[in-house]
């Protein structure tokens, strides 16, 4: 069995009096795809955002490939890292947003080149070659010089995935990548993610697409009210859920 790539350990997160995550444990092995399901408000997105330290955890810790995220441990203390160090860690963690968040004032190519050049100090020419290869991979080689707003939602999300891949991250996080898309555009984005799954990219995908979970996931995690209710292979969680809450959720979405 491959090594643990993402290790989420006893993570709590509160926004003021509201406790969104109440002790989440999750392990993702290298090359595996984990799909996180659950009703809205379950804390799925917050969990994903704590993994790349977009949200600071209130308690617990997250590590990627054995490296603590956002903190440095000495003895029994966790020292918060400087912003610069956190930014550096994030280059190992690709993040794909629900609303794409492409940079509208930059062309598609420049969207892909920006981070490798400024955060990874890659030579621009090399970064552009990588970018064009990635655009080809997501089927948008001809859109390199277009601006994001000239693309459809599905194309924009494929660009966003290519942008995340440009940093060659150790893990890719997807926060409801198809929720902002028209139904007929969902397929093209899921196809790209499936293709990544086949090539052994470690991924955590928060989604409402049960069919996608069944087809692609190695592990399905069901979350509700800030905790992981159950997890396991899709055949177990989706077809024979052991918990009442999982059954109730699945009966509503299937």
The residues that touch other proteins, with contacts defined as CB under 8 A, are 52, 54, 83-84, 87-91, 93, 95, 97, 99, 101-107, 114-115, 118-120, 147-150, 163-164, 167
Q: Provide the minimum distance between the beta carbon of 113 and other proteins in the complex, in angstroms, as a whole number.
A: 11
CA gap 199, 95 in Å, rounded: 18
For residue 4 the two structure tokens come to: 């643990």
57 Cβ partners below 8 Å, 6+ apart? 11, 12, 13, 21, 50, 70
Among residues 36 and 173, whose Cβ is nearest to other proteins? 173
Residue 75 CB, shortest distance to other proteins, in Å, is 28
Query: What are the two backbone dihedrals, phi and then psi, of residue 190, each rounded to the nearest 5 degrees?
Result: -65, -35
Cβ nearer to other proteins, comparing 202 with 246 = 202
Q: How far is the CB of 146 from other proteins (least distance, A)?
A: 9
Closest CB 15 distance from other proteins, rounded Å: 15
User: Taking the complex as a whole, how short is the minimal distance between the CB of residue 195 and other proteins, in angstroms?
Assistant: 22
Give 25 or 103: the residue with its C-beta nearer to other proteins: 103
User: Closer CB to other proteins, residue 61 or residue 147?
Assistant: 147
Residue 113: closest CA among 122, 100, 104: 122
For residue 33, the minimal CB distance to other proteins (Å) is 20
**199 burial class (0-12, 13-18, 19+ CB within 10 angstroms)?**
exposed
Q: Please identify, using beta-carbon distances, which residue of 148 and 226 lies nearer to other proteins.
A: 148
Nearer to other proteins, 27 or 89 (CB): 89
């Amino acid at each position: 069995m491959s090594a643990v790539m993402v290790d989420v350990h006893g993570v709590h997160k509160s926004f003021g009096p509201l406790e969104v995550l109440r002790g989440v444990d999750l392990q993702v092995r290298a090359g595996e795809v984990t799909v996180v399901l659950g009703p809205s408000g379950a804390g799925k997105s917050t969990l994903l955002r704590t993994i790349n330290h977009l949200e600071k955890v209130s308690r617990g810790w997250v590590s990627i490939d054995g490296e603590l995220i956002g903190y440095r441990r000495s003895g029994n203390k966790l020292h918060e890292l400087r912003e610069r160090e956190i930014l550096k860690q994030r280059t190992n963690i690709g993040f794909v947003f629900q609303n794409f968040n492409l940079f509208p004032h930059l062309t598609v190519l420049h969207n892909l080149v920006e981070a490798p050049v400024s955060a990874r100090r890659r030579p621009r020419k090399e970064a552009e070659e990588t970018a064009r290869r990635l655009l080809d991979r997501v089927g948008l080689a001809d859109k390199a010089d277009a601006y994001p707003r000239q693309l459809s939602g599905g194309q924009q999300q494929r660009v966003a995935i290519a942008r995340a891949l440009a940093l060659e991250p150790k893990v890719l996080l997807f926060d409801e990548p198809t929720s902002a898309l028209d139904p007929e555009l969902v397929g093209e984005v899921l196809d790209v993610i499936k293709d990544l799954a086949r090539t052994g990219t470690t991924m955590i995908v928060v989604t409402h697409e049960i069919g996608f979970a069944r087809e692609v996931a190695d592990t399905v995690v069901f979350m509700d009210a800030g905790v992981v209710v159950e997890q396991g292979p899709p055949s177990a969680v989706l077809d024979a859920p052991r918990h009442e809450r999982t059954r109730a959720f699945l009966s509503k979405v299937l």
